[in-house]
Amino acid sequence: MNFILRNYRAFYCYITAILIFVLHRKMRILSILSLVFILYFGSCTGNTDYVPRQTGYFRIALPKRKYTTYSSPCPFTFEYPVYASVLPDTGHFCWLNVAFSRLHCNIYMSYLTVNRNLQAYTEECRRFVVEHEIKASAINEQTVSNAKDKIYGVIYDIEGNAASNVQFYLTDSTHHFVRGALYFYAVPNKDSLAPVLNFVKEDINHLVQSFRWKTAESIPPKT
């Protein structure tokens, strides 16, 4: 394409130069038109390489950070952003969707009780993460360890055009287990989603850091 453009422009410049030469002969203003000819011809034979512009994306207005506490009959509590909503999954006890409607993404959280099957749960979480390896450029693990509040787990940061860029699980290792996964309602594109993804990652980190198990006395019986 550059070769065609270069030849076309050169042909156009030469034709223009001939016309200018004929005109300045008739109008007897050789000195002025010769200067114009030199400047114009010089611009025509200059660098004609074309560099495509990089793809741009619309700027997304991100909300101001502010958090509130989620508390319910579930055996845990955590802080989540005020610009998100916590919606219960009515089909399962304490399965939740933290919905970021303005940012077009959800954190899907599921709760399970531990009964000598903790290893099976953690292996299942790892399997869910590995399923994204085809589209992922890297998978980073961040260990969560809060012995005081008995909160242990892993946060998986899945880089690239994976369907889910963040997954995590939290457990007290004896009774409770919570798994979370972030999904956008859009075709995965790390470049266009990067500002929102980085923003929501901080909210996920805050959710994990503020996560607490309730004491047995404070948990209402399941109905």
42-95 pLDDT per residue, tens: 555 555 555 555 554 446 789 999 999 998 899 999 999 999 999 998 889 999
Same domain, yes or no: 81 and 38: no
Residue 61 in any domain: the answer is no
Residues 29 and 124 in one domain: no
- Answer yes or no: do 39 and 142 share one domain: no
Question: Structural domain of residue 29, as residue ranges?
Answer: 2-44
> Are 114 and 174 in contact, with CB atoms under 8 Å apart?
yes
Q: What is the pLDDT of residue 214?
A: 93
> Do 122 and 77 belong together in one domain?
yes
Residue 142 and residue 98 share a domain:
yes
Q: How many domains does the chain have?
A: 2
The reported pLDDT for the residue numbered 190 is 72
Q: Which regions of the chain are under pLDDT 70?
A: 1-59, 188, 216-223
Q: Are residues 35 and 124 in the same domain?
A: no
Tokens of 148: 């005081």
Cβ-contact 195, 60 below 8 angstroms: yes
**Quick one: DSSP state of residue 64?**
P
Contacts of 183 (CB under 8 A, 6+ apart): 105, 106, 108, 163, 164
> Of all helices (H) and strands (E), which one includes residue 44?
helix 30-44
Supply the DSSP symbol for 217: G
Residue 90 covered by a domain: yes
Confidence at residue 208, expressed as pLDDT on a 0 to 100 scale: 98
pTM: 0.70
